[in-house]
Amino acid sequence: MTEVVAVIDYGMGNLHSASKALEKVASGQTILITSDPDQVRAADRVVFPGVGAIRDCIAVLRDTGLDQAIHDVVAAGKPLLGICVGMQALLARSEENNGIDCLGVFSGQVSFFGEMLGETGNKLKVPHMGWNQVQQGMAHPMWAGIADNARFYFVHSYCATDVPESDVAGYCDYGRRFAAAVTRDNVFAVQFHPEKSADAGLTLLENFLRWQP
Amino acid sequence: MGLAKRIIPCLDVDDGRVVKGVQFVDIRDAGDPVEVAKRYNDAGADEITFLDITASHEGRDTTLHTVEQIASQVFIPLTVGGGVRTLEDIRNLLNAGADKVGINSAAVHNPEFVREAAERFGSQCIVVAIDAKKVSAESEPNRWEIFTHGGRKPTGLDAVEWAKRMTDYGAGEILLTSMDRDGTKNGFDIALTRAISDAVPVPVIASGGVGNLQHLVDGVIQGGADAVLAASIFHFAEYTVADAKRYMQNAGVEMRLD
């Protein structure tokens, strides 16, 4: 039977990029954009993308029951890939929008970059936007074929902090060192946009479609 | 080691065709935005900006189709600007696969539009494009004003104040074009780039006037730009994006070379 890869659609921005990039690297898998919690549960793999404000994101997930579907996918041991706000939503809490509880799949929280100074003493621009290096924190099948310190495309104003080191799959430096990728068991989540990160990003997505956690 | 400066080739697209002549020797159809975008992607462009100059209303559907085609085949960020006036315009472009949209004259006519757009879609996808011209005399301190209609119509708005206001309203990035330098090949207006870059907390893309690779370096090192946008030097194959990246890296600018 053809494997189904669900891309969770919760009305938050651009799913086109993620699904097109997955289609580009899929071999015989069906990419299904869905907002139906049951279809998410039934899928063989799940991609949880996201852009925009975390408060709206969490509110929609709770209203639609997609939050429980995500917890069920995690518990069922199926591969789950969080992207950008999708990764942030998997942490315990975010300080965006005056503080909001998230899904708590990972401990740690999401904090504003704040007014940080760069190496030359100039103020760093926020959002952190552009191609930055990801230092791999551990060997992992998701990093197969991707060089350590390869560049990925980031665009975000909040970043993950206080994630236990054992869950950090990759680090990035922008004024501070933050978790650019987190993983545990069958879950892998990235702050950057693999669907916008040219060859390195496509390789990561291809790795996800093959990953057998 | 850290965040790289970006090189952004810009395509002017009219009714689904690249105009202002792209001259690659070995490209099959230099008017096809998808082919041109792919070419730039292969050469290492960090993003692509697509300026829609389609005049007709019907042409907007062609634009959306073109955006869809590019986004299905080129997996780097795509910004689309030109004629963006309503929240529906933005939604349509994002749904077609644009990652960011550029708002220019609509922001001047109705600044609240930028606030609404950022609240609805997030600052990360709202780029405010600013066309500025120097209005101070040589003996006076520098002052630049916002112009619309391709640099013909003054607005009375101070460029630095305007850039600050737009970021207060939620713009996630500023695309800054010097109308004095645009098309001259004399380099960016460095003082303008520096003034805006120092004034706003968000990334600034310098545009207008690039004639050689040192101009790109100057925009970043002297002007403080986070990204540089250029059209003709790449379109006419005077330099490749890869040449530009190597040149900038050798000049001490951090670039994505892998």
What span, in angstroms and rounded, lies between the C-alpha atoms of A87 and B135?
A: 47
CA distance B172 to chain A (A): 7
Report the percent of chain A where pLDDT is more than 90. Answer: 81
Joined tokens for residue A39: 């279809």
Which residue is it, tokens 């060859």? A199
Cis peptide before A127 (omega within 30 of 0): yes
How do residues A60-115 score in pLDDT, each as one tens digit? 999 999 999 999 999 999 999 999 999 999 999 998 888 899 999 999 999 988 76
| Mean predicted confidence (pLDDT) in B160-178 | 97
The CATH code of the domain that includes A205 is 3.40.50.880
Give me the residue spans of the domains in chain B: 6-250
Which residue is it, tokens 């996630």? B172
Spatial CA neighbour of B207 closest among B185, B232, B188, B186: B188
Instruction: Give me the number of domains chain A comprises.
Output: 1
| A119, pLDDT greater than 70 | no
Which residues sit opposite A80 in a β-bridge?
A: A46, A187
| A181, pLDDT greater than 70 | yes
Joined tokens for residue B7: 């090189």
pLDDT score for A114? 72
Selected catalytic residue, list A84, A102, A159, A172: A84
Is A193 tagged catalytic? yes
The SS3 assignment for B137 reads: coil
How do residues B48-83 score in pLDDT, each as one tens digit? 999 998 767 777 888 999 999 999 999 999 999 998
> How many Cβ atoms from other residues are within 10 Å of residue B15's Cβ?
16
| Interface residue of A153, A177, A199 to substitute, partner B, most B CBs within 10 Å | A153
Which residues sit opposite A82 in a β-bridge?
A: A48, A189
Which residues sit opposite A112 in a β-bridge?
A: A158
Which residue is it, tokens 């006519």? B109
| B20, pLDDT greater than 90 | no
Q: ∠ CA A10-A143-A89 to the nearest 5 degrees?
A: 25
Residue A114: its chain B contacts at CB < 8 A?
Answer: none
| A9, pLDDT greater than 70 | yes
pLDDT score for B58? 72
What span, in angstroms and rounded, lies between the C-alpha atoms of B86 and B105?
A: 12
Joined tokens for residue B184: 């001259």
Query: Which of A45-54, B19-28, B61-70 has maximum average pLDDT?
Result: B61-70
pLDDT score for B17? 87
| B154, pLDDT greater than 60 | yes
- Quickly list DSSP for B51-113: EE---SSTHHHHHHHHHHHHHHH--S-EEEESS--SHHHHHHHHHHT-SEEEE-HHHHH-THH
Joined tokens for residue A186: 């069958």
ipTM: 0.93
| B232, pLDDT greater than 90 | no
Using a CB–CB cutoff of 8 Å, tell me whether A117 touches chain B. Answer: no
Selected catalytic residue, list A128, A159, A195, A206: A195
Joined tokens for residue A146: 């991707």
Joined tokens for residue B243: 């040449």
A133 contacts: CB under 8 Å, gap ≥ 6: A149, A150, A151, A172, A173, B1, B2
| A116, pLDDT greater than 70 | no
- Interface contact A198-B41, CB threshold 8 A: yes
Q: Which CATH number fits domain B6-250: 3.40.470.10, 3.20.20.70, 3.40.50.20, 3.90.650.10?
A: 3.20.20.70
Q: Quote helix, strand, coil % in chain B, to nearest 5.
A: 35, 25, 40
Q: What is the dihedral of CA B12, B17, B18, B22, to 10 degrees?
A: -170
What span, in angstroms and rounded, lies between the C-alpha atoms of B158 and B147?
A: 10
The SS3 assignment for A191 reads: coil
Nearest CA in chain A to B78: A196
Question: Domain of A24?
Answer: 4-210
| B168, pLDDT greater than 90 | yes
- Interface contact A14-B97, CB threshold 8 A: yes
HSE, side-chain direction, 13 A CA sphere, residue A63: 9
Helices marked H in B86-212 = 87-96, 105-109, 112-121, 159-168, 190-199
Using a CB–CB cutoff of 8 Å, tell me whether B96 touches chain A. Answer: yes
CA distance B229 to chain A (A): 14
Structural contact between residues B198 and A120, judged by C-beta atoms closer than 8 angstroms: no
Using a CB–CB cutoff of 8 Å, tell me whether B92 touches chain A. Answer: no
Report the percent of chain B where pLDDT is more than 90. Answer: 74
| B28, pLDDT greater than 70 | no
